[in-house]
Amino acid sequence: MLHRVLIRSVLAMLAALALPTAAWAGPAAKLSDLAWMAGSWDGPGIAGAPSTESWSPAGGGQMPGHFRQLNPDGSVMFYELLALAEKDGSLVLRLKHFNADLTGWEEKATVREFPLSAVSRDRWEFSGIAYQREGRNRMTVTVLIRNADKSQETLTFTLRRRGR
């Protein structure tokens, strides 16, 4: 029962992610800067349950990816379809959420956009979602969640490249 309450809370928090503004001027970046992410990554996710994030190599001006979060009982909690794209000399992360049965969270025509807001040596921040390279085969993904009551918390995913 506790894990169902936790899952409902997490789903509500994820759904409440604030949409960044449409007008922006992000730091200079190219898809090739994130080529290191191509491949499959696994690690503990929400409530310590397994999560997987996979990225395809860039092509056609985009780098597609997907994310899967499992429940502690091994069933699917949710999916995300992701795309990194070059925009105005910088990058934007686009995503949509889906339930286990592939029904969408967002309206059909709505895509969440997270423009690149900061870059440092091995860290790329997309307005609340950050990818930190931790060597060749590890990365940490942090997601800033804005709750309905305006409070914030951070989800952290420590991922290891599959097969390494």
Residue with tokens 């409530």: 47
In this predicted structure, what is the pLDDT of residue 164?
Answer: 62
DSSP 20: P
20 falls in which pLDDT band (50, 70, 90)? very low
In this predicted structure, what is the pLDDT of residue 25?
Answer: 73
> Using CA atoms, how far apart are residues 97 and 85, in angstroms rounded to an integer?
18
In this predicted structure, what is the pLDDT of residue 111?
Answer: 95
96 CB contacts (<8 Å, ≥6 apart)?
80, 81, 104, 105, 106, 110, 111, 112
In this predicted structure, what is the pLDDT of residue 109?
Answer: 94
Residue 140 reports pLDDT greater than 70: yes
Half-sphere exposure of 98 (CA within 13 A, CB side): 15
Does residue 123 contact residue 132 with C-beta atoms inside 8 Å?
A: yes
The pLDDT of 116-125, averaged and rounded, is: 96
147 falls in which pLDDT band (50, 70, 90)? confident
For 49-99, the pLDDT digits (tens) are 999 999 999 999 999 999 999 999 999 999 999 999 999 999 999 999 999
Q: What distance lies between CA 29 and its chain's CA centroid?
A: 18
The pLDDT of 5-29, averaged and rounded, is: 57
In this predicted structure, what is the pLDDT of residue 10?
Answer: 53
In this predicted structure, what is the pLDDT of residue 75?
Answer: 98
More confident position, 146 or 114:
114
CA-closest candidate to residue 147, choices 7, 19, 13, 8: 13
In this predicted structure, what is the pLDDT of residue 39?
Answer: 97
Going from the C-alpha of 117 to that of each of 25, 36, 51, 129, the distances in angstroms are 8, 19, 25, 10
Q: What is the mean pLDDT of the chain?
A: 89
Exposed e or buried b per residue across 58-86, where buried means at least 16 C-beta atoms within 10 angstroms of its C-beta: beeebbbbbbbbbbeeeeebbbbbbbbbb
In this predicted structure, what is the pLDDT of residue 18?
Answer: 43
DSSP 32: G
What domains lie within the chain, and their CATH numbers?
Answer: 2-18+28-161 (2.40.128.20)
